[in-house]
Structure 1
Amino acid sequence: MVASTLVAMLCAHLLCFSVMFLLISRRLPGNRMGMDFFAAGNLLLALAYILQLVEGGPAWSVMSVVNHTLTLAAPIAYWLGAMRFFGRQVRLWRSLIIFSVAYGIAQCLVQWSAGPTARYAMLAAMASVLFFVMTITVIYGVRTFAKDLYGEMFFFALLIGGICILNALKFLKIVDGGLDALHMDSRFQMIFYIYMSTLATIVPPSIVWLVLRRLTDSLRNMAARDPMTDLLNRRGLLDALTQSFNSRNAGPARLLLLDVDHFKRINDTYGHQAGDEVICQVADILRSTVRRDDLTGRIGGEEFVAVFLEADGDRVIHLAERLRASVESQAIKVAGSGNVLRCTVTIGISPPFHGAHDLEDALRQADAALYRGKAAGRNRIESAEVFNSVSVEDPKAAIV
């Protein structure tokens, strides 16, 4: 009686959270962060437990075959939902239908060849294997695609690992004691149902927390980036620089300020759409030129910034020259017309600085160097450290 009450409460939890996940998924854009998949997983597991209550015990029937299939289809739906949450494009129903047909056939073959005990043992073994693979995937995610969710993923790994162990123990008990081990009021089954009821209470709110955190991170990222180029804006640049200097014993950084030459003339001659295309192309070149850990941003209409972390002056000048030459050499096709235009940039380089609090001063010094470059003829690199420049005529000249 107690076990039946626990299973009934578990079904109620699963059905309620299934509806909640479905409602949340309708409010989310894009892939819905897998919430519709989680809703399906809860529904499948609830239906499996409802069928178990109706059956009352081990049996060989169509209902039993469906029950076993739904029991394993639920974690597959959760697994696919997690993949969707992390941006993987997977399909739910096709995968579940293929699995259900295959596992239904496997149940019939095992029942006819080895008997009911083997079929129930196969269910426990398959569940254990599924949850073991899920646990390994979660642990792998901590080191790769989910580094920003270290605590949450470790927590899920513990919970899923617990289900894996319980199903492995159930398999051993079935092999050792036969179907009597599956009596609903047995001590082991009571522990199993209590654990599953606890999971049904803890996991759904945890999944909602993950969605809220991902949405919050997305909003924070949107507030820190320029919408046209996806480069950091001034606020995002300051936050990223603060984090970079606080996360390690960083050496001095150097700031590169880049301005597109005669940008107003480009807008007036070719139109604002051409101006936007110039901005986007310069942003792409900037992204591809800097090193992996360096920071890039757009802080004005045609002004861009790159912050080189722990790079000496010669290295920064080399990267700046690559950037200048790349912009000059690449033609830009103006959409909607046959026009092809080229543009150039002038670059100012700041002296080394040692913290985020020096960002404004570095910007000011790089800006002064940039305007000296503008006054000297544009399409050149100017350093704030000394009054020397790298021009088109002498692109390999060194600034000491």
Structure 2
Amino acid sequence: MGATLIVGMLCVHLLCFGAMFLLISTRLHGRKMGMEVFAIGNFLLGCAYVLQLAGGAPGWNAMSVVNHTLTLCAPAVYAVGAMRFFGRAAPLWRPLLTLAVAYTAAQVVAQWTLGTAARYAMLAGASALLFAAMTATVIQGARSFAKDLRVEMVLFAALIGGIFALNAMKFVFILQNGLEALDMDSRFQTVFYLYMSFLATVLAPSIIWLVLRRLTDELRATAAHDPLTRLLNRRGLLDGLQAHLRSRKAGPAHLLIVDIDHFKRINDTHGHQVGDTVLCHVADLLRDTARQGDLTCRLGGEEFVVICLDTDAEGALRLASRARTAIENSDVAAATAPGSPIRCTVTIGISADFAAPQELDRALQEADAALYRGKHAGRNRVEASDAAAQAGSAMESALHAARAAH
């Protein structure tokens, strides 16, 4: 009676959370993160338990066959939902129908050749194998595609591993004791369904938590990035700079302002769509030429900022020269004028070094002043601020002195 009551409560729990998953999926326009698939999984498993309660004692009948098929299909559906949550395109209905037909046929063969106990043992064994594969996949995911959710993935692996262990034990018990192992009044069945009820109670809110966390992370990333170029915006730049400079090992940084030469002329001649393509082209080249860890930002309009972290004035100058040369020598993809490709150039101003977030405005002013000197000097050039030039001259003099001493 105890296990039967637990199964009844588990049915209600699964169906209610299935409805909740479905409602959440309707509010996630476009990317649903697998919530509609999780809802289907809950409905399948909830219906399987309803059929188990309605079918009475273990035996061979149509209700039992459908129950077993739904029970095995449900975790497969959850696996598809997990794949969609992590952005992997995974088909659902055709593989699900194939599995359902194949397992139904396997039940008929097992029943006719080995008997009812063998059919129930087959369900426990197949479920154990499926959950073992899911556990291994979750553990692998914590090391690769879900590193940002490592704690949650370890928790899921432990919970799914528990289902694997219980199904493996049920498989052994059925082989040893036959259908007696499925007595709903037995201690094992009570423990089994208590664990399933606990699992349903924990996993459903955990899935909702993961969806909320992913949405929050995406909103935070969207708020910190320019929608056109996907570079950082000013807010993202400041957050990244603060995170870097909080480190005790953080060295000085230099700021580069990059301005596309004659960008208004490009817009007026070729149209704003080509202008947007040029902006994305320059953004991609800046991203490619910056070092790993450097911060690349679209400041607004045709102006970009690169913050070179942990480098000296000479290193910042080399990076600026490399970026200017790459932009000058590359054609703008998918933006061609009649008879000739479109190219653009940039002028770059470099600030002196700084080591605190509150010095960012000062660095911007220095780099901006250097940028305008470069514009007045003919464009398509790199210009260091007065402070950066003085620092570079002092460094060069020190190097010459050191060489002379040797």
1:18-50 CA-to-partner distances (Å, cap 9, x unmatched) read 111111111112231100100000001011111
1:127-182 CA-to-partner distances (Å, cap 9, x unmatched) read 12211221222222222222222222222222212211211221222222222111
Conserved 8 A contact 1:334-1:340: no
Q: Find the counterpart in structure 2 of residue 53 from structure 1.
A: 53
- d(CA) in 2 for partners of 1:8, 1:96: 26
Q: Find the counterpart in structure 2 of residue 237 from structure 1.
A: 237
Q: Find the counterpart in structure 1 of residue 403 from structure 2.
A: none
Pair 1:167-2:167 in alignment: yes
Q: Find the counterpart in structure 1 of residue 71 from structure 2.
A: 71
Greater displacement, 123-132 / 229-238:
123-132
Residue 240 of structure 1: how far off its partner (Å): 1.8
Q: Find the counterpart in structure 1 of residue 290 from structure 2.
A: 290
Q: Secondary structure at the match of 2:352?
A: coil
Matches within 5 A, 1:244-263: 244-246=244-246, 249-263=249-263
Q: Secondary structure at the match of 1:330?
A: coil
Give aligned pairs, total. 391
Change (3 A) 1:144 1:312: farther
Change (3 A) 1:136 1:315: farther
Change (3 A) 1:122 1:334: closer
Greater displacement, 66-75 / 243-252:
243-252
Q: Secondary structure at the match of 1:32?
A: coil
Q: Secondary structure at the match of 2:257?
A: strand
1:299-332 CA-to-partner distances (Å, cap 9, x unmatched) read 1111111223334544443332232122112233
Residue 215 of structure 1: how far off its partner (Å): 1.2
Q: Find the counterpart in structure 1 of residue 396 from structure 2.
A: none
Conserved 8 A contact 2:313-2:391: no
Change (3 A) 1:386 1:278: same
Q: Find the counterpart in structure 2 of residue 349 from structure 1.
A: 350
Q: Secondary structure at the match of 1:106?
A: helix
- d(CA) in 2 for partners of 1:81, 1:95: 13
Conserved 8 A contact 1:141-1:153: yes
Matches within 5 A, 1:79-118: 79-118=79-118
- d(CA) in 1 for partners of 2:16, 2:97: 24
Structure 2 residue identity aligned to 1:254: H
1:66-125 CA-to-partner distances (Å, cap 9, x unmatched) read 211111111111111011011001111111111112222222233333332222222112
Residue 247 of structure 1: how far off its partner (Å): 5.9
Change (3 A) 1:245 1:97: farther
Matches within 5 A, 1:302-341: 302-332=302-332, 338=338, 340-341=341-342
Instruction: Give RMSD over aligned pairs.
Output: 2.4
Conserved 8 A contact 1:334-1:341: no
Q: Secondary structure at the match of 1:386?
A: helix
Structure 1 residue identity aligned to 2:384: S
Residue 334 of structure 1: how far off its partner (Å): 7.3
Aligned identity (percent) is 59
- d(CA) in 2 for partners of 1:31, 1:263: 36
Matches within 5 A, 1:91-240: 91-240=91-240
Change (3 A) 1:304 1:189: same
- d(CA) in 1 for partners of 2:374, 2:334: 28
Residue 189 of structure 1: how far off its partner (Å): 0.6
Conserved 8 A contact 1:382-1:388: no
Conserved 8 A contact 1:253-1:352: yes
Unpaired segments of 5 or more residues in structure 1? 390-399
Q: Secondary structure at the match of 1:332?
A: coil
Q: Secondary structure at the match of 2:389?
A: coil
Conserved 8 A contact 1:48-1:68: yes
Structure 2 residue identity aligned to 1:204: A
Unpaired segments of 5 or more residues in structure 2? 393-399, 401-406
Greater displacement, 269-278 / 255-264:
269-278
Conserved 8 A contact 2:336-2:342: no
1:173-206 CA-to-partner distances (Å, cap 9, x unmatched) read 2222222111111101111111111222221121
Q: Find the counterpart in structure 2 of residue 26 from structure 1.
A: 26
- d(CA) in 2 for partners of 1:223, 1:111: 59
Q: Find the counterpart in structure 1 of residue 376 from structure 2.
A: 375
- d(CA) in 2 for partners of 1:27, 1:336: 42
- d(CA) in 1 for partners of 2:336, 2:261: 23
Change (3 A) 1:374 1:146: same
Structure 1 residue identity aligned to 2:361: E
Q: Secondary structure at the match of 1:83?
A: helix
Greater displacement, 86-95 / 160-169:
160-169
Q: Secondary structure at the match of 1:296?
A: strand
Conserved 8 A contact 2:335-2:342: no
Greater displacement, 109-118 / 11-20:
109-118
Change (3 A) 1:142 1:60: same
- d(CA) in 1 for partners of 2:161, 2:246: 35
Residue 65 of structure 1: how far off its partner (Å): 2.0
Structure 2 residue identity aligned to 1:142: A
Structure 2 residue identity aligned to 1:102: A
Q: Secondary structure at the match of 2:307?
A: strand
TM-score when normalising by structure 2: 0.89
Q: Secondary structure at the match of 2:291?
A: coil
